[in-house]
Structure 1
Amino acid sequence: MISFPNTISGLTNSEQELYRKLLRRLLKKRRRNRLRSKYYNGRNELHDIGYSLPPIAKDIDIVVGWPAKAIEGLANRVRLDGLLPADGGELPSSVSDLMDESDLVQLAQSVHTDAFVHSCSFVAVLSGDTSKGEPEVIIQEFTADVATGEWDKRRNRLKSALLFDTDDECDEITGIYLMHYGQTITIDPVGAGWKVGHREPNDQQRIPCELFAYRPDSKRPFGRSRIDRTVMSLTDSAVRTFLRSEIQAELYSVPARYFLGVTEDMFTDDDGNLVPKWQIMLDQVLSLPSNPQTGQNPVVGQFQQASFEPHLAQLRQTATMFASATSLPPDAMGVLTDNPSSAEAIDKASKELCLLAESCHTWFGHPWRRIIERAQILAGNGDVKTVQPMWRNPSTPSKAAAADLALKLVQGNILPADSEVTYDMLDLTDQQRSILRGEARRAQARKYIDSLTNGGTDVSGQSESASGNSQSTRTRTQ
């Protein structure tokens, strides 16, 4: 369990007040964020309504992975493929190096997933310690359970942030960053306490930390989690349904019996101990003597076997409601139905998920652009290149369908064959794009050399002819 320090040595009064304000906000939201993490990891507790489940049911672990399905179903459609210069052309090597050092594509997938779980995530651009082998610029994610901030409504950006760096197990704090307009304060552990390590000036208009929020609006700029109250309630209902069916399954093959005209002494062993009830239920042959008091023979009957259908019907209904709440196809919940979803129903659910993914491209695209620009400034690049993220098509078309569409657009002279838009439609990797650009440059160079070898009949020849005509004109003028 992480213990957050309440007092930091070396902070001014205003900075200490800002630190405690942000810490209170973090602790207030931390409980709900950790609860959502439990649902995502399948570690949520059983919420018994206290009516139908026996006490022994609390010792049975039932895991329903629907919350993780809701997160991954959208996260798999919001995939960052790379970066592209805003003015076209090839990505500078300095930006490519930043991407490689930070493993930006993998980092982006983690940031998006955490934003779906907690409603938001934070990414900061920090100076690395080169003496310890770190790169000059570090792009690091901080999840919402160890980071928070204040939102500037007038500027639509973070005006302050408090970030706790933790170890791999998230059990111990290894560093703290306090950011506000104009300054980043690094706080280091000193003995049993914490002290300001160093102060680094930053932009007066924007702190070096960006907020990645899912479904933000004016009232909730830090977004909303996909694991909302509806998802948690439906998951709890599914867990109880599974648990009731598991308990019934234990006795499904054993019919319930009843006995008339018997006494308790008839169900004892040779030592006078009562025979366990489960053994009586599993006995295929029952030998019961007549009642010594009345002389009547015992009557043994059997109740009608209970059906599993009520559990299955409730589970199907819960799965349908969950799929509707998360814009997932009903068949994705793993519950079989007599009437499978039609192609139209699946297509409609996929379209809703694609629309959400396209909205995420807008919500996450601008923060990534500013992160890369800030990293270039911190790295000391004189010419800061404006870039834009390249996103994978959320509808995930097949390679054949994408190639067919691109071919038709090129043949219709709507797109050039060597355009970045065409490459994007074909879902080519950065390495494949670089190879194609290099081959295009070599082909252009060979064409130019051939034109010079053939006597300058192409562009060079036209230039020479134009130059000769100009000289003749000047001669006649003189």
Structure 2
Amino acid sequence: MMHRTEITAPSMFGIPQVIGLQPDQQEALGELVAQWVSKMPRNIERMLYLDGKNKLKDLRIALPPQLVGQLEIVMGWPEKAVYELANRIVLDRITDVDGASDPFDLNRVLFDNRFDVELPMATASSLAQSCAFMSTTPGGDGDPDALVMFHSALWATGIWDRRRRALKSALLINDTDGLGQPTRMTMFLPAETVVCVKGAGWYVEDAIPHRLGRVPMEVIPFRPTLDRPFGRARVDRRVISLTDRALRAGARLEVHSELFSAMKLILLGASEDTFTDDTGKPVPLWSFYMGRLNTLSKDEDGDVPELEQIKAESPEPHIAVMRQLASEFSGHTGVPLGSLGIATDNPESAQSKTVAREDIVADAEKQQTIMTAVLRRGLENVLMIRDGLSERPDGVLDLQFIWRRPDRPTLAAVADSGAKQVGSIQGLAQTTVGMELLGLRPDQIDRAQSELRRTRAASTLDRLQAARTSTEDIPAAGGG
């Protein structure tokens, strides 16, 4: 049973007393629940900004109060901050040190766990909320041998052990009720995984021992530091502040457009009878504006009423404010101005685009290094649980994680650079490394290697056949 998809903050959720837990386990659960409850409001706020559901924070100065509730301005900048970087963190393949594409027979278990689909989701979640989690448990009926699941910080938390540089305990909220109250939780400990369920009271439904010697959950942080091992969110306070300011700027621009979209006129010297019909009822101003022929009578002095037009104010000040906020947002997140919808008079050159993305490319490269270490430990957990091991399998530290280049060079640039490198070493072009340098995709490399093996096998068979034929044609010694 999985947790709910709706995001509802738990209201007054206290630390449950669970029947069946040992005192030290109950203490660990209390620490985990307290941390989850304290972090939930901020995580929900980040998700609302990521989904564009944040409300307009009106300062009650420039916007008409009756319009504030009707304006549905949506600012997608937080989403850009997350996915502009997440889309540059792409895992292409996992190999061993010799380049084998299925080390430890991992492909099947990863396929069964939809690893290639869920890893990008976990990457985006870790960027949005500072971290995500990867858990591994034995599979049940219909599950893979090792069940690998990713969790966002909305539904999981952990306590960090600074000495071991790992989690000393972790908690997963599996399900909640309509009020956001947990009804099912899983606690991960170094020796076992404990499932707690709420009935008339809380009780231990299952305790699953394991032989890892550590918590079977890994944290995937973004920008971790010594003081903040769970990282920092891309949707941070400055992103939230800039989004709020941009939302107000967009609302002011919308109101400005509404106010000045219709022509503004001042009619001087007209009597009230001008705007009444034959029955004495007022004529709606909109009907007067849209009438094909309108007549105005002279006033009592015989003067013709004068009509003056009020010129519309330029929206440029509002646009300038929006451009300034976008520049601040771009400087903080590394997202180029063009990706934020800010057009410039002069199109960006290829070199300027590269320079504009240097910060976000550097962040992506750093995050690839962090995720390599996390995934290596996570896959170590997978192998140990699948095979029932108590020690790390030999060679697991040699797993190679091949990431796509975050700078996204053109195919021509990659091929040109790769050709120069491959040409300097004889035979490199037919190896997996050489093909990677040339920019071939993993599936293209696999097909190329398969065709090369078939070609070599056919060539070897032809040589053997030729040698056999040649031997048969030689007359026996002493024959006459």
TM over 0.5: yes
Residue aligning to 1:146: 155
Letter in 1 for 2:423: Q
**2: CA distance, partners of 1:40 / 1:74:** 14
Residues 199 and 145 of structure 1: CA distance in aligned 2, closer, same or farther (over 3 Å):
same
Residue aligning to 2:344: 337
Checking the alignment, whether the CA contact within 8 Å between 2:119 and 2:150 is kept in structure 1 is no
Offset of residue 91 of structure 1: 2.1
Letter in 2 for 1:355: A
After superposing the two structures, state which structure 1 stretch, 398-407 or 370-379, moved more: 398-407
1:226-265 to 2 correspondences below 5 Å: 226-261=234-269
Residue aligning to 2:472: none
Residue aligning to 2:4: none
Aligned length: 452
Checking the alignment, whether the CA contact within 8 Å between 2:95 and 2:103 is kept in structure 1 is no
Letter in 1 for 2:407: S
State the Cα deviation string for residues 116-140 of structure 1 (Å, max 9, x = none): 111110110012212xx12221110
Pick from 413, 422, 441 the counterpart of residue 434 of structure 2. 422
> What SS is found at the alignment partner of 1:252?
helix
Residues 87 and 152 of structure 1: CA distance in aligned 2, closer, same or farther (over 3 Å):
farther
Checking the alignment, whether the CA contact within 8 Å between 1:255 and 1:281 is kept in structure 2 is no
1:297-308 to 2 correspondences below 5 Å: 298-308=305-315
Residues 204 and 5 of structure 1: CA distance in aligned 2, closer, same or farther (over 3 Å):
farther
RMSD: 3.1
After superposing the two structures, state which structure 1 stretch, 145-154 or 252-261, moved more: 252-261
**2: CA distance, partners of 1:6 / 1:106:** 35
**1: CA distance, partners of 2:275 / 2:104:** 85
- 1:349 matched to 2:360: no
Pick from 312, 315, 326 the counterpart of residue 333 of structure 2. 326
- 1:77 matched to 2:84: no
Offset of residue 89 of structure 1: 3.3
> What SS is found at the alignment partner of 2:429?
coil
Offset of residue 144 of structure 1: 0.4
Residues 269 and 137 of structure 1: CA distance in aligned 2, closer, same or farther (over 3 Å):
farther
Letter in 2 for 1:126: T
Residue aligning to 2:168: 159
**1: CA distance, partners of 2:360 / 2:205:** 46
After superposing the two structures, state which structure 1 stretch, 300-309 or 264-273, moved more: 264-273
**2: CA distance, partners of 1:107 / 1:385:** 25
Residue aligning to 2:33: 23
Residues 170 and 338 of structure 1: CA distance in aligned 2, closer, same or farther (over 3 Å):
farther
Letter in 1 for 2:152: T
Offset of residue 188 of structure 1: 3.4
**2: CA distance, partners of 1:160 / 1:332:** 40
Checking the alignment, whether the CA contact within 8 Å between 1:119 and 1:224 is kept in structure 2 is yes
**1: CA distance, partners of 2:310 / 2:29:** 67
Residues 344 and 271 of structure 1: CA distance in aligned 2, closer, same or farther (over 3 Å):
farther
Residue aligning to 2:210: 202
Letter in 1 for 2:53: R
Stretches of structure 2 that go unaligned for 5 or more consecutive residues are 1-7, 469-480
Checking the alignment, whether the CA contact within 8 Å between 2:94 and 2:101 is kept in structure 1 is no
Checking the alignment, whether the CA contact within 8 Å between 1:330 and 1:341 is kept in structure 2 is no
- 1:213 matched to 2:221: yes
Pick from 64, 68, 84 the counterpart of residue 57 of structure 1. 68
**2: CA distance, partners of 1:6 / 1:287:** 77
Residue aligning to 2:146: 137
Stretches of structure 1 that go unaligned for 5 or more consecutive residues are 457-478
Residue aligning to 2:471: none
Letter in 2 for 1:155: R
**2: CA distance, partners of 1:269 / 1:341:** 60
1:262-277 to 2 correspondences below 5 Å: 267-269=275-277, 274-276=282-284
Residues 451 and 390 of structure 1: CA distance in aligned 2, closer, same or farther (over 3 Å):
same
Residue aligning to 1:463: none
Checking the alignment, whether the CA contact within 8 Å between 1:82 and 1:105 is kept in structure 2 is no
Residues 381 and 9 of structure 1: CA distance in aligned 2, closer, same or farther (over 3 Å):
closer
State the Cα deviation string for residues 1-31 of structure 1 (Å, max 9, x = none): 3656742332223322221221121121111
1:87-126 to 2 correspondences below 5 Å: 87-92=98-103, 94-126=105-137
Pick from 64, 79, 83 the counterpart of residue 68 of structure 1. 79
Residues 14 and 65 of structure 1: CA distance in aligned 2, closer, same or farther (over 3 Å):
same
Checking the alignment, whether the CA contact within 8 Å between 1:257 and 1:281 is kept in structure 2 is no
Residues 452 and 244 of structure 1: CA distance in aligned 2, closer, same or farther (over 3 Å):
same
Q: How does the TM-score come out when normalised to structure 2?
A: 0.84
**2: CA distance, partners of 1:448 / 1:296:** 110
Pick from 397, 400, 412 the counterpart of residue 388 of structure 1. 400
After superposing the two structures, state which structure 1 stretch, 217-226 or 2-11, moved more: 2-11
Offset of residue 296 of structure 1: 6.7
**2: CA distance, partners of 1:80 / 1:147:** 24
Residues 368 and 300 of structure 1: CA distance in aligned 2, closer, same or farther (over 3 Å):
same
Checking the alignment, whether the CA contact within 8 Å between 1:43 and 1:63 is kept in structure 2 is yes
% same residue: 33
**2: CA distance, partners of 1:414 / 1:232:** 54
> What SS is found at the alignment partner of 2:28?
helix
After superposing the two structures, state which structure 1 stretch, 405-414 or 135-144, moved more: 405-414
Residue aligning to 2:410: 398
**2: CA distance, partners of 1:449 / 1:204:** 49
State the Cα deviation string for residues 121-180 of structure 1 (Å, max 9, x = none): 0110012212xx12221110111011111111122111111111248x997867421122
Offset of residue 212 of structure 1: 0.6
Residue aligning to 2:386: 379
- 1:315 matched to 2:302: no
**2: CA distance, partners of 1:198 / 1:427:** 49
